């Protein structure tokens, strides 16, 4: 009898476990960047490893990089596992790029007190500007996601074209999201038994019991999150350019190595960021003008032109339409100030170092070249000459006489090579 009871209890436990669901949870918090895309991708891999029944993406973001957003949305749209997108907790919002992630879910949910929308694309400027061609492109992208998930495409399109923003209640009433829930527990209760379509197949969600596996940020995600931040990438770029030029001019201090490392890291970050080609040309022109200033001193004219080109190029460098509006305003002020200050200081330092190097070259032998002296005695191609009050041995291919004025044309040790001065 005891054996039968134990067997029945075991069967009940196994049945309970079989009815449960494993849900992999990943949080998108803050600006979306390449690090975020890597984090979400790791969640999908984790879901496959543990045989998860669903993936929960919790969203609280003001927007982010277009390329990273596309990668996240693509993972969701092509997932073989049901994806639940959820704006949470109260006070969170899913703006700009985040709104596309939300509507891409098989099930889209929001907590009361949250909002979605405001996805009008901007470009850097003061104030930030709107480009019609970019608006049309982003609007069509948003519309295609909404149509695929059978959400109101006209409303979603207005997120982009009109900057429409909706509260959780409004989004639910208009069919933008499917569920309102004030906690993950309440969300799972409301979704229990719900039918979702995944890759053309209808699946019934069994969330009677739930085990949540939370995904932590991998190291790669943290690294990319830092490097793909536009402000960090910009600082690395500006430091790399000037440190490399300074280091090549004054080898031995390791500045060229530091500059090269900064440039590599900057390019690494730029790989995930939209770049304005014209801005890159301005930056390259600024570098060229600085080099020309060093090679052919123009009393700072080319140096000033270099500073202007570098500053304008850096301000216009990034082309990321889904970053939050405040980013474009703050970014222009930050980049403009840093690039102008850094370019001015570094250009001044580099030009002064170049001038000092040219002066040092004239110390010693080269300092005598071009000096005028007087022959004291001369015979058989050699003799003595007085230059700057000092007596030097001299040689010349010309026949000289005592009292002749000569010009120094070279030096070898303590002997000067001279030629007769031509009267003008």
List of domains in the chain: 2-221 (3.90.226.10), 229-361 (no CATH), 365-420 (2.40.50.140)
Grade residue 13 by pLDDT with cuts at 50, 70 and 90: very low
The predicted-structure confidence for 79-134, as pLDDT tens digits, reads as follows 999 999 999 999 999 999 999 999 999 999 999 999 999 988 876 655 666 677 88
Report how far residue 327's alpha carbon sits from residue 95's, in angstroms, rounded to the nearest whole number.
Answer: 13
Does residue 19 have a pLDDT over 70? no
Query: What percentage of the chain has pLDDT greater than the value 70?
Result: 83
Strand order in the sheet with 209-214: 179-180, 107-110, 83-87, 54-60, 20-29, 209-214
Q: What is the pLDDT of residue 269?
A: 78
Grade residue 14 by pLDDT with cuts at 50, 70 and 90: very low
Higher confidence at residue 182 or residue 365? 182
Q: Could you tell me whether strands 20-29 and 209-214 are parallel, antiparallel, or unpaired per DSSP bridges? A: parallel
Strands, DSSP E only, in 289-413? 372-379, 382-387, 390-395, 405-412
Does residue 337 have a pLDDT over 90? no
Mean predicted confidence (pLDDT) in 238-267: 81
Residues identified as active-site: 96, 129
Grade residue 177 by pLDDT with cuts at 50, 70 and 90: very high
Does residue 402 have a pLDDT over 70? yes
Mean predicted confidence (pLDDT) in 35-56: 95
Enumerate residues 6+ apart whose C-beta is below 8 A from 355. Answer: 297
Three-class secondary structure of residue 315 per DSSP: helix
Structure-block tokens of residue 413: 């040790």
Report how far residue 95's alpha carbon sits from residue 246's, in angstroms, rounded to the nearest whole number.
Answer: 43
Torsion of CA 27, 33, 34, 35, to 10 degrees: -40
Task: State the Cα angle at 225 between 46 and 212, rounded to 5°.
Answer: 30
Q: What is the pLDDT of residue 252?
A: 66
Q: What pTM does this model have?
A: 0.70
Task: Identify the weakest region by mean pLDDT among 171-180, 196-205, 324-333.
Answer: 324-333
Structure-block tokens of residue 34: 């390449």
Report how far residue 163's alpha carbon sits from residue 141's, in angstroms, rounded to the nearest whole number.
Answer: 15
Enumerate residues 6+ apart whose C-beta is below 8 A from 82. Answer: 53, 54, 55, 106, 107, 196, 198, 203, 205
Considering 9-23, 92-106, 129-143, the range whose residues carry the highest mean pLDDT is 92-106
Helix (H) / strand (E) containing 55: strand 54-60
Report how far residue 227's alpha carbon sits from residue 234's, in angstroms, rounded to the nearest whole number.
Answer: 10
Q: Alpha carbon 65 to chain centroid distance?
A: 10
């Amino acid at each position: 009898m005891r054996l039968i009871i134990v067997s029945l209890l075991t069967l009940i436990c196994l049945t309970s476990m079989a009815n449960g669901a494993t849900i992999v949870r990943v949080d998108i918090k803050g600006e979306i960047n390449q690090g975020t895309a890597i984090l979400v991708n790791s969640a999908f891999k984790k879901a496959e490893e543990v045989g998860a029944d669903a993936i929960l993406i919790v969203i609280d973001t003001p927007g982010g990089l277009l390329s990273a957003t596309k990668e996240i949305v693509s993972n969701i749209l092509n997932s073989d596992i049901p994806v639940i997108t959820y704006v949470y907790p109260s006070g969170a919002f899913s703006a700009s790029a985040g709104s596309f992630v939300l509507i891409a879910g098989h099930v889209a949910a929001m907590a009361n007190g949250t909002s979605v929308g405001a996805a009008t694309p901007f470009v850097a400027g003061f104030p930030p500007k709107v480009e019609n061609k970019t608006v049309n492109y982003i609007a069509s992208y948003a519309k295609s996601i909404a149509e695929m998930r059978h959400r109101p495409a006209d409303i979603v399109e207005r997120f982009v074209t009109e900057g429409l923003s909706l509260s959780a209640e409004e989004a639910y009433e208009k069919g933008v999201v499917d569920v309102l829930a004030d906690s993950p527990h309440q969300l799972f209760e409301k979704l229990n038994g719900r039918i979702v379509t995944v890759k053309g197949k209808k699946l019934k969600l069994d969330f009677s019991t739930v085990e949540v596996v939370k995904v932590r940020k991998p190291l790669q995600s943290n690294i990319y999150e830092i490097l793909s931040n536009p402000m960090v990438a910009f600082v690395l770029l500006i430091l790399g350019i000037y440190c490399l030029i300074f280091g090549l001019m004054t080898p031995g201090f390791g500045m060229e190595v530091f500059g090269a490392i900064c440039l590599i890291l900057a390019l690494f970050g730029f790989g995930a960021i939209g770049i304005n080609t014209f801005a890159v040309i301005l930056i390259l022109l600024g570098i060229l003008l600085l080099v020309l200033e060093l090679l052919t001193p123009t009393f700072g004219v080319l140096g000033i032109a270099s500073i202007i080109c570098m500053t304008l190029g850096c301000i216009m460098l990034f082309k990321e339409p889904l970053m939050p509006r405040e980013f474009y305003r703050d970014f222009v002020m930050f980049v403009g100030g840093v690039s102008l200050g850094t370019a001015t200081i570094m250009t001044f330092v580099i030009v002064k170092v170049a001038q000092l190097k040219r002066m040092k070259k004239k110390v010693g032998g080269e300092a005598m070249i071009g000096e005028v002296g007087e022959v004291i005695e001369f015979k058989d191609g050699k003799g003595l000459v007085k230059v700057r009050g000092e007596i030097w041995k001299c040689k010349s291919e010309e026949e000289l006489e005592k009292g002749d004025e000569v010009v120094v044309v070279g030096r070898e040790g303590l002997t000067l090579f001279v030629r007769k001065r031509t009267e003008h």
